[in-house]
C-alpha cells in the first residue's frame, strides 16, 4: 500500500512513522519551503498530560501518558536525548497563591512543595515562591529539534519527504494532516503568541508554569540558555504579528518569575494557530480518500503519537479507495 500524507507538521510526521515502521510506503508533501512556520514549529514542547488536565477532558491525560515513551522510542540515540523527564513545576505569585489550590484540585499526579522544595528543584527560584506543585511524571522536548530529527529518521526508514510542493503523487490512500489549512468547517483557530528569550543569567531544568487568574503562562528551557515563553490563547485565526499587549504580558510573566529575564535578549517572536474542534479534542476521521488527523489544539506533541496509532490502524484496515 502507498500512502500520501499531506502536511509535515507533528501530525503528519508521527503518522508517517507509525506507517513506515509497519512497512507501508509513505510519501509526505508540505506546501511550505521548510519545516518552519507551522503550529508545530512554534510549540513549547511540553509533554504535560497531568497539568493539561486542569482545563482539558480526560482523554488528554489517558492518551497523553504514552507521549514521552513514544518520542523516546521514535528518536533513539546517544545523550542528550530529545525527551527530558524532569517533570513540571507550577508556581504562583504570593497574591495569587489561591490559584495553586484550584490547580491542584483540578489535576492529579503532583506533590506540594514548600519554599525549600521549590529551591531544591530550581535553585534559581530560591526564595521567590512560598509554595509550588511538582508534577514528576511530566516531560518536555525541543519541538524543532524533534521535528527535524524525526524527519531524518523517516528518510532513513525510506519515507519520501517533499517540501515546497503540492505535486500530486500516486497513492492508494491519502492522509490529510494539514492543520488549519484543512477543508473542515468544524475546525477553528486558537491563536498562540510566544517569545524566545536568550537569558544567560537564568537556569531552569524543567518547564515552569506561572499561574495567574487571567494570564497563566509558562517558560520552557531550551539549549544554550534559550527559553520559550508562551503562550496566549486567543479565539482567532489571525496569523499576524504578536500584539504589544501580549508581548508585555509574556515579558511581565517572565520577569516576575525571575528578574534575570529582564536582561534577556528577545531573539524571536512567533504566532501559531492551533487547529481545534469544539470540544478541544483531536479527531481521526475517514475522508473520501483516506483519513484526516486534526484538532490537536494545544496538545500536538502530547497527543499526536496516540492519534497516529489510531490513524495508522484505520488506514491499514481501510479498503483501498481510488484516488
Ligand atoms: C504557541 C504554541 C505553543 C504550543 N505548545 C505546545 C506544547 O507545549 N505541547 C504540545 O503538545 N502542543 C503544543 N502546541 C500545539 C501544537 O503545536 C499543535 O497542536 C500542533 O502543532 C498541530 O500540528 P499539525 O501537524 O496538526 O499542524 P501544523 O503544525 O500546522 O502542520 C500542518 C502542516 O500542513 C501543511 N500544509 C497546509 N496545507 C497543505 C497542503 N495543501 N498540502 C501539503 N501540506 C499542507 C502546512 O504547511 C503545515 O506544515 C502549541 C501550539 C502553539 C501555537
Q: Which atom of ligand 1 is nearest to the CA of 190?
A: 53
Grid look-up 510566544 returns 194
> Which three cell numbers mark 119?
529551591
Domains and CATH numbers, the chain: 2-75+140-187+278-315 (3.50.50.60), 88-136+188-276 (3.30.9.10)
What are the cell numbers at 59?
482523554
Distance CA 158, CA 240 (A): 37
Pocket test for ligand 1, best of 4, 5, 10, 302 (most atoms within 8 A of CB): 10
Q: Which atom of ligand 1 is nearest to the CA of 194?
A: 1
**Given this model, what pLDDT does residue 267 score?**
98
In ligand 1, the atom with minimum distance to the C-alpha of 166 is 42
Residues of the chain with pLDDT under 70: 318-323
Q: What is the tens place of the pLDDT at every residue in 131-145? A: 999 999 999 999 999
Nearest CA to ligand 1 atom 19: 300
- b or e along 134-155 (b: 16 or more beta carbons within 10 Å of the residue's beta carbon)? bbebbbbbbbbebbebbbebbe
CA distance 70 to 217: 26
Q: How far is it, in rounded angstroms, from Cα 192 to Cα 189?
A: 9
Residue 318 pLDDT = 60
Q: For the segment 247-287, what is each residue's pLDDT rounded down to a tens digit?
A: 999 999 999 999 999 999 999 999 999 999 999 999 999 99
* Length of the chain counted residue by residue: 323
Based on the number of CB atoms within 10 Å of its own CB, is 108 exposed (0-12), middle (13-18) or buried (19 or more)? exposed
Nearest-angstrom CA–CA distance, 149 and 144: 8
Q: Ligand 1 test: best mutation among 3, 17, 43, most atoms within 8 Å of CB?
A: 43
Please say whether the beta carbons of 202 and 261 come within 8 A.
yes
* Predicted TM-score of the model (pTM): 0.96
- The conformational region for residue 18 under phi > 0 = left, psi -120 to 50 = alpha, else beta, is alpha
Amino acid at each position: 500500500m502507498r500512502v500520501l500524507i499531506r502536511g509535515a507538521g507533528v501530525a503528519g510526521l508521527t503518522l508517517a512513522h507509525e506507517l513506515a515502521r509497519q512497512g507501508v510506503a509513505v510519501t509526505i508533501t508540505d506546501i511550505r519551503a521548510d519545516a518552519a512556520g507551522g503550529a508545530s514549529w512554534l510549540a513549547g514542547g511540553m509533554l504535560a498530560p497531568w497539568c493539561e488536565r486542569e482545563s482539558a477532558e480526560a482523554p488528554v491525560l489517558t492518551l497523553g501518558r504514552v507521549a514521552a515513551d513514544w518520542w523516546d522510542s521514535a528518536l533513539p540515540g546517544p545523550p542528550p536525548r530529545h525527551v527530558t523527564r524532569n517533570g513540571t513545576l507550577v508556581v504562583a505569585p504570593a497574591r495569587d497563591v489561591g490559584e495553586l489550590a484550584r490547580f491542584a484540585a483540578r489535576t492529579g499526579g503532583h506533590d506540594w512543595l514548600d519554599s525549600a522544595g521549590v529551591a531544591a528543584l530550581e535553585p534559581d527560584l530560591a526564595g521567590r515562591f512560598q509554595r509550588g506543585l511538582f508534577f514528576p511524571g511530566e516531560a518536555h522536548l525541543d519541538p524543532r529539534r524533534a521535528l527535524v530529527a524525526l524527519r531524518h529518521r523517516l528518510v532513513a526508514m525510506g519515507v519520501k519527504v517533499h517540501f515546497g510542493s503540492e505535486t500530486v503523487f500516486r497513492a492508494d490512500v491519502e492522509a490529510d494532516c494539514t492543520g488549519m489549512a484543512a477543508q473542515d468547517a468544524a475546525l477553528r483557530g486558537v491563536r498562540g503568541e510566544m517569545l524566545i528569550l536568550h537569558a544567560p543569567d537564568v537556569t531552569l531544568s524543567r518547564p515552569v508554569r506561572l499561574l495567574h487568574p487571567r494570564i497563566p503562562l509558562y517558560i520552557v528551557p531550551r539549549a544554550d540558555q534559550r527559553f520559550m515563553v508562551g503562550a496566549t490563547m486567543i479565539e482567532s485565526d489571525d496569523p499576524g504579528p504578536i500584539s504589544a499587549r501580549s508581548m508585555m504580558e509574556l515579558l511581565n510573566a517572565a520577569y516576575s518569575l525571575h528578574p534575570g529575564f529582564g536582561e534577556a535578549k528577545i531573539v524571536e517572536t512567533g504566532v501559531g494557530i492551533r487547529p481545534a474542534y469544539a470540544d478541544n479534542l483531536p479527531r481521526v476521521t475517514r475522508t473520501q480518500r483516506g483519513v484526516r488527523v486534526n484538532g490537536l489544539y494545544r496538545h500536538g506533541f502530547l497527543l499526536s503519537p496516540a492519534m497516529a496509532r489510531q490513524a495508522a490502524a484505520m488506514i491499514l484496515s481501510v479498503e483501498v479507495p481510488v484516488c
